[in-house]
Homo-oligomer: A and B are copies of this chain.
Amino acid sequence: MPNEPRKLSAQIRDVEFGENVTYVEPVNMYGCKLGDDCFVGPFVEIQSSVTVGKGTRIQSHTFVCEYVDIGEKCFIAHGVMFINDLFQIGGPAYGKKELWKSTKIGNNVSIGSNATILPVNICDDVVIGAGAVVTKDIDKPGIYAGNPAKLMREIPS
């Protein structure tokens, strides 16, 4: 007799919505908090404890893991992957959450499509180019791109 797998389904579970939030199914969101006027595109997963500030858009195909906080008026484009586990023990930390790292994205941050965001802090008013891999904290407003991402141009304040 063949084995019967356990089938779960993408769903909306225990999500705290601000006012005027829109999302496009199928999405998988659980235990997270979305501020007023947020938008979440299709084929997105947002995990537990994530917070997303007012007016931020999370576009299609993006994955936001636990331990990520995103500020207000951010634009997270398509296919962006956030990361909380650096495989520091030569592989996944699995349940050892003391090994997970957090990510904090400021306000008015725009992250281009297919970018990869390791656990970092990014200050306000930053643009991350499409396809970039961000491996270090960013504390100066500007445009960053490449793998690993480097400052391309400052944005005068």
Report A's interface with B, CB cutoff 8 A. Answer: 2-10, 16-26, 28, 34, 41-43, 45, 57, 60-61, 63, 65, 75, 77-79, 81-83, 87, 90-92, 108, 110, 112-114, 116, 118, 125, 127, 130-131, 133, 143, 146-148, 155
Contacts and interface: CB of A to CB of B under 8 A. Distances in A.
Given A6-B21, A16-B2, A43-B45, A130 B60 contact: no
A21 B42 CA distance: 22
A77 to B, nearest CB: 8
A118 B4 CA distance: 32
A110 B87 CA distance: 8
A42 B45 contact: yes
Main secondary structure of the interface of A (DSSP, over half): loop
A83 B147 CA distance: 18
A113 B81 contact: yes
B92 A75 contact: yes
A155 to B, nearest CB: 5
The CB with the most chain B CB atoms within 10 A, among A8, A81, A127, A147, is that of A81
A115 to B, nearest CB: 8
A10 B19 CA distance: 22
A147 B131 contact: yes
